[in-house]
């Protein structure tokens, strides 16, 4: 009986696995803009990004080799984030941290999209997954912008008196670019920054168009199959 309960609970948790990931990434995005140097806020923000790593791995891992790959990508950034509370992170390790973060989120995006495109039915879990991928695209580009600025300071022109500082600034800029709002308070100056900003804006529009069209198509097919059945 206990074993049956465990199996049922495991199936329920895995069925809505993208929901836990969505909660984690949403919590991180809510906390991130509040970071203004307070150690308490910083710890809470890092707790949420750690939760993103854990729930992300849980959401996509089905095979041992996938678990090893996902953990290998997540661990360096995870370790360097928490190590920064005890030691000052040198410049090379800052670059390594951002690179592994980018690779991890790219891996997550590919894994979730592969799952979404294999499914034949539109479920709540599929919708959660589609939302998570969209948010992960914004987070990935934010890390890319932060990496560019770290390697080549002055890649972005920031309006005087801007209230955001640090990495949260690039999360803001990334999602403004992804949604093509373009407030103009942050301007890319170098060729890599300009090219990546254009690419993110294009990806943001294509993603919405393609995924919404696919979900609508699957839903219509489901309805037709239901009527014919």
Domain boundaries defined on the chain: 2-228
For 48-106, what is each residue's pLDDT tens digit?
A: 788 888 888 877 777 777 888 888 888 888 888 888 888 887 888 888 888 998 999 99
Q: What is the Cα–Cα distance from 95 to 150, expressed in whole angstroms?
A: 7
pLDDT value of residue 11 = 47
Q: What is the Cα–Cα distance from 140 to 146, expressed in whole angstroms?
A: 10
| Assigned fold of 2-228 | Helix Hairpins (1.10.287)
For 161-194, what is each residue's pLDDT tens digit?
A: 666 566 778 888 999 999 888 777 888 999 999 9
pLDDT value of residue 9 = 41
Q: Is the dihedral of CA 136, 137, 138, 141 positive or negative?
A: positive
Which residue, among 56, 59, 74, has the nearest Cα to 16 in the 3D structure? Answer: 59
pLDDT band at 34 (very low <50, low <70, confident <90, very high): low
In sequence order, what are the residues at sequence separation of 6 or more whose Cβ sits closer than 8 angstroms to the Cβ of residue 106? 140
Residue 8 has pLDDT above 60, yes or no: no
User: Which of 20-24, 61-65, 129-133 has the weakest average pLDDT?
Assistant: 61-65
pLDDT value of residue 109 = 92
Arithmetic mean of pLDDT, 145-155: 90
Choice between 159 and 135, residue whose per-residue pLDDT is larger = 135
The pTM assigned to this predicted structure is 0.84
Q: What is the Cα–Cα distance from 25 to 65, expressed in whole angstroms?
A: 24
Q: Is the dihedral of CA 143, 145, 149, 152 positive or negative?
A: positive
Choice between 168 and 109, residue whose per-residue pLDDT is larger = 109
pLDDT value of residue 136 = 92
Residue 148 has pLDDT above 80, yes or no: yes
Choice between 20 and 11, residue whose per-residue pLDDT is larger = 20
Q: What is the Cα–Cα distance from 53 to 114, expressed in whole angstroms?
A: 19
- Structure-token pair, residue 13: 């948790």
Q: What is the Cα–Cα distance from 119 to 80, expressed in whole angstroms?
A: 36
Which residue, among 119, 117, 131, has the nearest Cα to 15 in the 3D structure? Answer: 119
């Amino acid at each position: 009986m206990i074993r049956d309960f465990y199996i049922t609970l495991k199936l329920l948790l895995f069925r809505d696995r993208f929901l836990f990931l969505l909660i984690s990434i949403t919590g991180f995005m809510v906390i991130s803009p509040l970071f203004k140097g307070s150690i308490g806020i910083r710890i809470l923000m890092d707790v949420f990004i750690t939760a993103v790593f854990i729930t992300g791995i849980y959401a996509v891992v089905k095979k041992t080799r996938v678990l090893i790959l996902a953990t290998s990508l997540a661990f360096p950034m995870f370790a360097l984030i928490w190590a920064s509370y005890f030691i000052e992170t040198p410049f090379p390790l800052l670059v390594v941290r951002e690179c592994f973060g980018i690779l991890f989120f790219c891996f997550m995006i590919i894994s979730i999209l592969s799952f979404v495109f294999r499914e034949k039915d539109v479920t709540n879990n599929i919708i959660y997954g589609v939302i998570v991928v969209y948010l992960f695209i914004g987070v990935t580009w934010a890390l890319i912008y932060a990496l560019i600025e770290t390697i080549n300071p002055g890649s972005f022109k920031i309006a005087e008196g801007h209230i955001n500082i640090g990495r949260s600034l690039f999360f803001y800029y990334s999602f403004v670019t992804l949604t093509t709002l373009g407030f103009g308070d942050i301007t890319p100056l170098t060729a890599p920054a300009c090219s990546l900003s254009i690419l993110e804006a294009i990806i943001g529009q294509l993603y919405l168009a393609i995924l919404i069209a696919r979900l609508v198509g699957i839903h219509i097919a489901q309805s037709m199959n239901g009527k014919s059945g």
